[in-house]
Amino acid sequence: MSKPARKVVFIDRDGVINVDLWKYVEKWREFKFEKSAFEALKKLTDKGFDIFIISNQAGVGDGVFTEAVMWEIHEKMVAALAKRGIVIRGARFCTHAKKARCDCRKPKTQLLEKAVAGINFDKNRTFFVGDKLSDLAAGKNFGVKTVLVRTGYGKESEKKLTRALRPDHIVDDLNAAVPFILSA
Ligand SMILES: [Mg+2]
Ligand SMILES: [Zn+2]
């Protein structure tokens, strides 16, 4: 018998969980949580979701900061969340340069595939929450539902939506995405 299906949510990092600085987050000191992030992530944790961070960090490949620093920021973020009872099940980063034409940078789906490898879950009840068109496209390409948040780059993204690339839902911030996710 297969294991019971898990509830999965993919979340972009910059501009969704933390304030997008309109440049790379190069050190932990620059990392500031979005106002709604704690409440949203706590609710999702309490409802039993497996939360995965899916993030392009081309600053590594472009030589702006090191992969070690990227992971240090991640560990500190996870620890800050854990103090509030929030569990991050996993994270996948594309660290390649923007121009590297790698196989994982969103809107490609490899980060999502690897994150949930071996996990039994229902794509129809799974969401990708992000602030950029590349997030929406990655979610759509992977066959999950998508939510655009207006934090970070979201308001700019909203202006660029096309008929071919529309999210399933648009909300002001991560916390406002939670009821939609829970209703699936
Ligand atoms: Mg983002
Ligand atoms: Zn990559």
Distance (angstroms) between ligand 2 centre and the Cα of 96 equals: 4
Residues in the chain: 184
pLDDT digits (tens, 9 = 90+) for 103-141: 999 999 999 999 999 999 999 999 999 999 999 999 999
Residue 14 annotated in active site: yes
3-state secondary structure 112-169: HHHHCCCCCECHHHCEEEECCHHHHHHHHHHCCEEEEECCCCHHHHHHCCCCCCCCCE
pLDDT digits (tens, 9 = 90+) for 19-36: 999 999 999 999 999 999
- Whether pLDDT at 176 is above 70: yes
Distance (angstroms) between ligand 2 centre and the Cα of 17 equals: 21
The answer to whether 73 and 39 have CB atoms below 8 angstroms apart is: no
**Rounded CA separation 176/181 (Å):** 10
Of residues 25, 29, 27, the one with CA closest to residue 14: 25
Give the other-Cβ count within 10 Å of 66's Cβ: 13
pLDDT digits (tens, 9 = 90+) for 150-174: 999 999 999 999 999 999 999 999 9
Relative to the alpha carbon of 57, which ligand is closest?
A: 2
Residue 12 annotated in active site: yes
pTM of the model: 0.97
Residue 90: Cβ-neighbour burial (10 angstroms; 0-12, 13-18, 19+): middle
Distance (angstroms) between ligand 2 centre and the Cα of 104 equals: 4
Query: What CATH superfamily is the domain 7-182?
Result: HAD superfamily/HAD-like (3.40.50.1000)
Helix (H, G, I), strand (E, B) or coil at 72: helix
Distance of CA 5 to the CA centre of its chain: 21
Residue 98 is classified by DSSP as G
**Distance (Å) of CA 44 to CA 22, 59, 110:** 27, 29, 24
The active-site residue, picked from 14, 20, 131, 135, is 14
Q: What are the sequence ranges of the domains in the chain? A: 7-182
